[in-house]
Chains A and B, each alone.
Chain A
Amino acid sequence: MRLLGKHNHPYIPNSQPEVKEAMMREIGIKSIDELYADVPEKYRLKKLLNLPEALSEFEVKKHVESLLSKNKTCEDMPVFLGAGCWPHYVPAVVKEIVQRSELLTSYTPYQPEISQGMLQALFEYQSMICELTSMDVANCSMYDWASALGEAARMATRIKGRNEILIPHIISPERTATLKSYTEPAGISVKQISFNKENGQINLEDLKRKISEKTAAVYIENPSYLGFIETQVQEIRAEAHAHNALFIVGIDPVSLGVLKPPGEYDADVVIGEAQPLGNAMNFGGPLLGIMACRDDTSLIRQMPGRIIGLTTTQQGDQNGFCMALQTREQHIRREKATSNICSNEALCAVASTVYMALLGPKGFQELGETIMTRANYAMRVLSRIEGIVTPVFKSAHFKEFTVNFDKAGLNVKEVNEKLLRNCVHGGKDVSKEFPELGQTSLYCVTEIHSKEEIERLADTLEGVLRGR
């Protein structure tokens, strides 16, 4: 028997034999298996499972570190991938605060008096998301942008008593697949609006054709999945509201230091991905879904997820925070709840709170400027390479942009393989998602990509295209 196998595991104080026996005596049992007497004999495992033997902490650390060291990250090579999970710098303060074990190891704040720290941080998260998006109410998290879209669609159909949602044709396949899982069982039909071939913008004619008295909501994204800024927001909003449908906008919060917030163009519901605000990519999760709405009871009452509210003590002598509107939620309303969500992404929301507090208004503006300038510089440099068209759409782009290789007669897969051989990771291949765009790749440039890295990308791409 290994040292750590039994009887003395550091995580199990009462596995110490004398303590264990004393407790068994107290209960009046001779063997712990007596406590399992009601588990039918045939289901009681007689042998050990096919699992590893225990390792010491040092061995676990060595083992996991050695496996992870087989990965190559954006610290080992320039990586120009985003597409729903983006590389942004996480300040040291953010990492420090989310490791505070009073926050890290606490549960959902069911006992608010002993959980004021978490509750106030989450209230501040909601409040800062409201300032960034210019909305009035935000919940304290969804799993991610994709599931937030699913929830928003269901929310809209409940509010409007209608069963159709209009979404753009240009959207992440992760989000459409998730949306389908959330909407199909509720009998909601999802229709896609086509785009203008020149500039990628929503085709307003197609929107007008498809919108009707069945439409519960019109959903757009800004910036779009392919990185360009949708500018016809007033026209789309007017069309949605003229048909008494909700106007839902999906956002990347790091853009909101420079881009007009959706609240200012009358969005009813705002969703998005807050992973960029202080959360590492972690190979795609955990992420942090944003969900916000206007101060309108009919919207608020149908919101999914936990919402923290400001209140006072019963004596009224002190402010405090607690979960609000719990009667919407599964633990009270069961099958009539607005959603089944229970555990969420609270600690990621705390990370985002700290991040937003660190940056402040000026920081967000600068972040937006840096990203947009760098991304536009990258487009400029890449577009000089013969055989490359970038961006595919003639629109303003924020941090992501499309790069097309049709003129070079190359496909994205080969380009990316060759880039990787030169220790540069190219953008996401979107040629299968959008065959109409040919051999197109989606590149992402943020504040972490220096001028030097952008130029290295350009040089390497040029070499690849010229067969160097």
Chain B
Amino acid sequence: MNPMFKQARWNENVIFDLGEPGRRGHVLPRAEDEIIQAVGSVDKLIPANMLRTSQPKLPELSEVEVVRHFIRLSEMNYGVDSGFYPLGSCTMKYNPKINDQLAGLPSLGMLNPYQDESTVQGILKILYKLELWLAEITGTYEVCLQPAAGAHSELLGTLLMREYHKMNNALEKRTEVIIPDSAHGTNPASAAMAGFNVVVVPSDDNGCVGLGALKAAVSERTAGLMLTNPNTLGVFEKNIDEIAKVVHEAGGLLYYDGANLNPLLCKARPGDMGFDIVHINIHKTFSTPHGGGGPGAGPVGVSKDLAKFLPVPRVSFDGNRYSLDYDRPYSIGKIKSFYGNVGVLLRAYAYILSMGREGLKEAAEIAVLNANYLVQKLKEIRGLALPYDGKKPRKHECVFSAKLLKNETGVSALNVAKRLLDYGMHAPTVYFPLIVDEALMIEPTETVEKEELDRFVEVMRKISEEAYTNSETVLNAPHNTAVSRLDEVKASHPRTIALSWRMHQKKSKQNP
């Protein structure tokens, strides 16, 4: 199998080097002459010291130049629609086109969040129903749609922990949040932002939370535990009952990191397992496009005891009319403006309708089937190993170690990742979770056909072969992408760092 993929290489200039002075790409409406005559010149309306005296140095391009520039850039990018994207923990499932179309409707786009409730009944109904469905799916009492992303939900979740302990006059002593060493980096970062100290519990030989270690870690200082289940190895924390008991008996709350919710859709619910706070990554589990990093949406579901602390406003329904309820005296307030990333949430609403309850369950099951199929096939590849109880079924993802491959050939997980790009496949997540050496974290999702999984296995086998016979090709990869291997150190080095065009120009003058 030869790499058949060749990404476009446009060698496209930075936009500041394109165009000609005087060109314009768009003309916006101008004020009517009568208005200008009545009001006079803007130079006179603005106090002299606040008037901009030199125009911003933006590029000057015609409409067609702008279009070609960005189309070329898009051709040097790779999305789920381009091909297989097994980026572990990111659930890069197919993003249905109908959802984008609906989210682009002016009947949503042209709504101001402060409009009179009588003029926004349609969107309020959608948000209200989405909250109910997400509560049903997660097994929680009430869901809030405000957070903009998973990490934002974690911030909200840890703020809720704070508020809960504060109400119990226990915040002063409840200063610690326990986090497994296999957790996403956002967990400790969020807990720290909410003012907690982070206590890390090591995983046991099965890659799960060690019960002994957990028992040793909990104390009267414990505010809560943040847990991903299935965890980042793709393994279900089967001692969840015991874990919940230990944390609750210590007086802590249990937080569910929803990054890995996909395999549990309509199969099992975090709320039933004792989780008090559950977040959902709409841009993972509910199929909304990641947009090169965002926008996402991160609804948070909570148990009955915590519902009163949720941010305002809450969408409410009196049987006749939907409204926004700010009258929540115990609410923590707000974590962003308005009500959440509605443009993203609407897509999730449409997705749930397209899937239906049986389809969501099927999605979970096939995501798990696909991951275990890959486990079975990839295990046979030279240089790869499946650490932590290889016999145990994985859920939606699996983590292989390329440590042996590296020791025997010098080809690292990073090299494997870069070489995969040459074959027109996105790389898995690499070097995460931290408890696996040379980690390759692979999440196929349910939206990939068996033939593509087989191709991926074939490519991995080929890369392993190349590593043992012709490692240079792998070590120097990628070859077929828009650019060859980049110097990432240079991008952050004090002498060469250029974070904007003007900074680059300044640097170029300093070190020609």
Q: Is B168 an interface residue (CB 8 A)?
A: no
Tell me the nearest residue of chain A to B116, going by C-beta: A420
7 extra interchain contacts, Cβ-Cβ under 8 A, other than A117-B73, A154-B193, A320-B486?
A: A2-B356, A143-B149, A181-B159, A185-B162, A344-B149, A345-B293, A366-B30
Inter-chain CA distance A39–B395, complex, in Å, is: 10
Inter-chain CA distance A301–B332, complex, in Å, is: 30
Q: Is A122 an interface residue (CB 8 A)?
A: yes
Which chain B residues border A175 with CB–CB below 8 Å? Answer: 337
Count of B interface residues, CB-CB < 8 Å: 211
Q: Is B154 an interface residue (CB 8 A)?
A: yes
Q: Is A300 an interface residue (CB 8 A)?
A: yes
A146, B336: Cβ atoms closer than 8 Å: yes
B334, A108: Cβ atoms closer than 8 Å: no
Inter-chain CA distance A90–B42, complex, in Å, is: 24
- Give min CB distance, A183 to chain B, whole Å: 10
Q: Is B210 an interface residue (CB 8 A)?
A: no
Which chain B residues border A311 with CB–CB below 8 Å? Answer: 486-488, 490-491, 496
- Give min CB distance, B356 to chain A, whole Å: 3
Inter-chain CA distance A341–B376, complex, in Å, is: 35
Q: Is B306 an interface residue (CB 8 A)?
A: no
Which chain B residues border A297 with CB–CB below 8 Å? Answer: 494
- Give min CB distance, B104 to chain A, whole Å: 7
Q: Is B461 an interface residue (CB 8 A)?
A: no
Inter-chain CA distance A338–B12, complex, in Å, is: 33
Per the 8 Å Cβ criterion, residues 350-399 of A in contact with B are: 350, 353-354, 356-370, 372-374, 376-377, 380, 396
Tell me the nearest residue of chain B to A120, going by C-beta: B73
- Give min CB distance, B437 to chain A, whole Å: 17
Which chain A residues border B385 with CB–CB below 8 Å? Answer: none
Which chain B residues border A59 with CB–CB below 8 Å? Answer: 353
Per the 8 Å Cβ criterion, residues 189-230 of B in contact with A are: 189-195, 198
A181, B292: Cβ atoms closer than 8 Å: no
B193, A55: Cβ atoms closer than 8 Å: no
Per the 8 Å Cβ criterion, residues 11-38 of B in contact with A are: 11-12, 14-16, 19, 23-32, 34-36, 38
Q: Is B404 an interface residue (CB 8 A)?
A: no
Partner of B24, one of A103, A322, A363: A363
Which chain A residues border B429 with CB–CB below 8 Å? Answer: 110
Partner of B61, one of A182, A357, A447: A357
Q: Is B381 an interface residue (CB 8 A)?
A: no
Stretch at the interface among A91-99, A190-198, A206-214: A91-99
Q: Is B327 an interface residue (CB 8 A)?
A: no
Q: Is B370 an interface residue (CB 8 A)?
A: yes
Inter-chain CA distance A360–B61, complex, in Å, is: 7
- Give min CB distance, B76 to chain A, whole Å: 4
Which chain B residues border A60 with CB–CB below 8 Å? Answer: 98, 102, 350, 353-354
Which chain B residues border A370 with CB–CB below 8 Å? Answer: 28-31
Q: Is A256 an interface residue (CB 8 A)?
A: yes
Q: Is A309 an interface residue (CB 8 A)?
A: yes
Which chain B residues border A69 with CB–CB below 8 Å? Answer: 107, 122
Known: A52-B357, A114-B478, A313-B486. A174 touches B52 (CB 8 A): no
A39, B268: Cβ atoms closer than 8 Å: yes
Q: Is B320 an interface residue (CB 8 A)?
A: no
- Give min CB distance, B384 to chain A, whole Å: 17
Inter-chain CA distance A48–B455, complex, in Å, is: 35
A373, B342: Cβ atoms closer than 8 Å: no
Q: Is B105 an interface residue (CB 8 A)?
A: yes
Partner of A12, one of B123, B281, B291, B447: B447
- Write the A101-123 contact mask toward B (1 if CB under 8 angstroms, else 0): 11111111111111111101111
B56, A261: Cβ atoms closer than 8 Å: yes
- Give min CB distance, B438 to chain A, whole Å: 16
Partner of A425, one of B95, B115, B370, B448: B115
Which chain B residues border A380 with CB–CB below 8 Å? Answer: 38-39
A339, B189: Cβ atoms closer than 8 Å: yes
Which chain B residues border A164 with CB–CB below 8 Å? Answer: none
